[in-house]
Chain A
Amino acid sequence: TQLLEQSPQFLSIQEGENLTVYCNSSSVFSSLQWYRQEPGEGPVLLVTVVTGGEVKKLKRLTFQFGDARKDSSLHITAAQPGDTGLYLCAPENQAGTALIFGKGTTLSVSS
């Protein structure tokens, strides 16, 4: 069974602040995706990371995949109210047939 932990569970910050959220496991992942979900909607893909040590940037969002492919982080620079939402990490299951989601980090950015 893959144990997946996301931290922090909740984060409330002011516009302009920086933040980092984490996704950790004791299992090695073949790949990992990050999704953002807004209230009343389904999650939407932000990025997929595949290679250990990989860093991907999406505007003010920076995603990193750990060297051992057991963890990942999402860093947001100068957060804006539009970044508010639930951030979910989702590695492949061990069979490679579906995605398993973490419990998520709920981010609230106030102006």
Chain B
Amino acid sequence: NAGVTQTPKFQVLKTGQSMTLQCAQDMNHNSMYWYRQDPGMGLRLIYYSASEGTTDKGEVPNGYNVSRLNKREFSLRLESAAPSQTSVYFCATTKDGTGYTGELFFGEGSRLTVL
């Protein structure tokens, strides 16, 4: 049982290049999230999808787009990468939203460097 799988685990891009981070979960969860983690900044929410077919902006959505492809998959796209997007990206899922019922299950992270 893999849980939450992120690909790729490591990626180096040049400024202006585009790429997509993939996230897939086999937990049959409804809600999926993308966070970025930078030193001294904690985890910041980029986008989330409360259910299949819906997406919403989080704290830091600029420069990113997302697609909830189906219930299992939630991708994060950088259309024109910038050095400020160098970070570790985490995908997470919950069964039915957050709060007292909603434990977040995280993937292992994708480390992205933009030169």
Chain A residues close to B by CB (< 8 Å):
6, 9, 30-31, 33, 35, 40-45, 48, 50, 88, 90, 92-93, 96-104
B104 touching A43, Cβ below 8 Å: yes
A sample of 14 more A-B contacts (CB under 8 A), given A30-B99, A44-B106, A93-B45, is A33-B104, A35-B104, A41-B108, A42-B4, A42-B106, A42-B108, A42-B109, A43-B106, A48-B100, A48-B103, A50-B100, A90-B104, A99-B104, A101-B42
CB within 8 Å for A31 and B99 given contacts A42-B90, A97-B50, A101-B42:
yes
Report B105 CB to chain A, min CB distance, Å: 8
Count contacts between A and B, CB distance < 8 Å: 68
Residue B63 is within 8 A (CB to CB) of chain A in the complex? no
What is the chain B residue whose CB lies nearest that of A1? Answer: B59
Instruction: Specify which of B44, B56, B103, B109 is in contact with A33 (CB 8 Å cutoff).
Output: B103
Residue B48 is within 8 A (CB to CB) of chain A in the complex? yes
Interface of A is mostly: loop
Residue B2 is within 8 A (CB to CB) of chain A in the complex? no
Interface band, chain B: 20 to 34
B98 touching A92, Cβ below 8 Å: yes
B100 touching A40, Cβ below 8 Å: no
